[in-house]
Chains A and B, each alone.
Chain A
Amino acid sequence: MLDELIREIKAFIIETLDLEDISPDDIDADALLFGDGLGLDSIDSLELGVGLQKRYGLKISAEDEEARRIFSSVRTLATYVAAHQTV
């Protein structure tokens, strides 16, 4: 179940952020999304926040102390979505 959502989240990230030349298989579910891992930046985090709201009805505030942990990797994001998605 979580594996399926992980695949979906990878595709969601690629589509939302226009990640050229990257396929879902290129993204390690446990790698860092920001900084040294996939290399996303702060604008990407805002874009993902807007996308999560549209796609899953989730609102994660940038000030939320949990945000850093939730956006840590594809796996942490998928776990959060599985527990909280409203649509």
Chain B
Amino acid sequence: MSGMKLRNWVAWMPGCETVGAWRQWAHTGAPIVAGAGLLAAPPPIKEIPPLLRRRAAAMGRAALHVLSRPELPYAGQPIVLCSRHGEFQRSFDLQAELAREGRVSPQQFGMSVHNATGGLFMMAQKARAPLTALAAGEEGALAGLQEACAELADGADAVWLLYCEEPLPGEYRQLLGDAAVRGDCHFAFLLELVSGSEFRLAPEAGGGEGRPALPLDLLRFLLRVEDARLCLSPRGNWTLRRTAIAGA
């Protein structure tokens, strides 16, 4: 059993870029992909030096944007970056380039590892904190929380848990069902978690059924104080339960 408190959060999705817009999204029951236009321009990331930010693609730019908000300054916490597919368009283009030309761009290849986006942020910050990059299929929301709890249990005062995704290349989109299940819309959100008793992550008997909760399901739950529990994974009944009102 692990207890935690959500101390702060920042989120970005095309058409949903302010706290007010996100609260409305959470409370109106809008579809999980609301506003997540596939071709929307990525957010500006002027806070990251040009020589670093040039290497970020769509997902990376969304991620760096939420990591660099002045209202939530970085203070050296461990970072857990959680993305099911990562910057998959880049990997797809690399494969096409390899097939076409027999060689690939070293820069693109270097950025095609899962922790590269977090690495850009750490380099910009000149930080040496632990950075974990996770890809946990449909159970990414759960895996990210478990990793964040592990960091807190290991003694971190706070942990930054980042979820981010970009749309899959068209060739792959049809293989993974509808967008809500694929979780491939364009978004990034950052949770600053500390130890506490606001939420409890634990297996609960009869936890749930259906599909695992996606990262945006998790954000919606966190923003809806009237919701008592979220089944993160029917397998193992992992559940996030709201045990106290924020700020209480």
A and B found bound together: yes
Comparing A3-11, A15-23, A65-73, the segment that makes contact with chain B is A15-23
B106 touches A17 (CB 8 A): no
Say yes or no: is A1 at the interface (Cβ < 8 Å to chain B): no
| Residue interface bits B94-113, CB-to-A below 8 A is 1, else 0 | 00000000010111001000
Most buried by B among A22, A39, A47: A47
Check B105 against A50 for contact (C-beta < 8 Å). yes
Chain A residues positioned under 8 Å from B51 (CB to CB)? 19, 39-41
**How far, in whole Å, are A20 and B53 apart by their CA atoms in the complex?**
8
B interface residues, tally (CB under 8 Å): 10
Partner of A46, one of B54, B55, B106: B106
Binary flags per residue of A26-70, CB closer than 8 Å to B gives 1, else 0? 000000000000011101101101100000000000000000000
Interface size grouping (class) on chain A: 10 to 19
A47-B105 in contact (CB<8A): yes
Could you tell me the distance between the alpha carbons of A41 and B105 in the complex, rounded to whole angstroms?
15
Contact indicator A47/B106 (Cβ below 8 Å)? yes
Whole-angstrom distance from the CB of A47 to the nearest CB of chain B? 5
- 14 new A-B contacts, CB < 8 A, other than A17-B54, A21-B50, are A17-B107, A18-B54, A20-B50, A20-B53, A20-B54, A22-B50, A39-B51, A40-B51, A43-B106, A46-B107, A47-B106, A47-B107, A49-B106, A50-B103
| Chain B residues near A (Cβ < 8 Å) | 50-51, 53-55, 103, 105-107, 110
